Homo-oligomer: A and B are copies of this chain.
Amino acid sequence: MKKTTRATRAKGAQSSPEALLDALHSLMIERRGLDVAIADISERSGLNTGLVRYYFKSKNGMLVALLDRIVNLPIRNLRALIDAPITPWEKLKRHLSGLINTHYRYPYMNELVAYLINGTDEEIAKHVYTSSVEPLLIAQRAIIQQGVESGEFRDVDPTFSYFTLTGACDYMFTASYVHRLGLHASEVSDEMRQRYTEHVLNFVRAGLQADVAG
């Protein structure tokens, strides 16, 4: 752990809030969950605990800041994708690949979102829903609707499809314990992520294909 601390300190260009968020991220990966204390973040980053309160007010404030940092770019890309001059299937392909990438890099995503939204702080719940979940629901439904209207997809329910597609993309990473305990793999490798993306895209393509309706 000492080594990481020094390494983080050595990055002179990095600001303190970024270093704290990096420490939180790496600890949640290692511990396979959200159970990380402010003292651990302090030790890992080499910064004092007071800075967490100074920058983020609380542990939950820090979790929200980390989630915002993760989803910022993907959500912007997704919003742009809705009206991009490509076919609905091409949009869905890019979106689902991106979604799998995000869950590969941040396997604690689903747990983090559920924890913040189901918690007792209604303001945090609304913020997280609006910034991290709603844009996904809106964009996916819009793209599926476009495909249904153009006749490229079967006449599927776009809201139900949001649940099936999102669940199919992220369960591999949310249930990462299956790899550790059942498949004798210490983690999901990048090669596995690529093959899984291909599998999901083939599966979804076949599942949505207009000419196999009924």
Contacts and interface: CB of A to CB of B under 8 A. Distances in A.
A174 B171 CA distance: 11
A166 interface: yes
A39 interface: no
A213 B169 CA distance: 20
A181 B33 contact: no
B199 A129 contact: no
A89 to B, nearest CB: 14
Interface in A111-127: 111, 113-115, 117-118, 125-126
A181 B114 contact: no
Contacts of A164: 168, 171-172, 199-200, 203
A163 B168 contact: yes
Contacts of A195: 157, 160
Interface string A178-196: 1001110000000000011
A110 B207 CA distance: 25
A169 to B, nearest CB: 7
A149 interface: no
A163 B175 contact: yes
A204 interface: yes
A151 interface: no
Question: Which 7 residue pairs are nearest across A and B when measured between Cβ atoms?
Answer: A167-B171, A207-B207, A167-B167, A164-B168, A163-B172, A160-B199, A32-B118
25 contacts: A111-B111, A114-B177, A129-B177, A133-B182, A137-B182, A154-B202, A157-B195, A159-B183, A160-B172, A160-B195, A160-B200, A163-B168, A163-B171, A163-B178, A164-B168, A164-B171, A164-B199, A164-B200, A165-B168, A167-B167, A167-B170, A167-B175, A204-B207, A206-B206, A206-B208
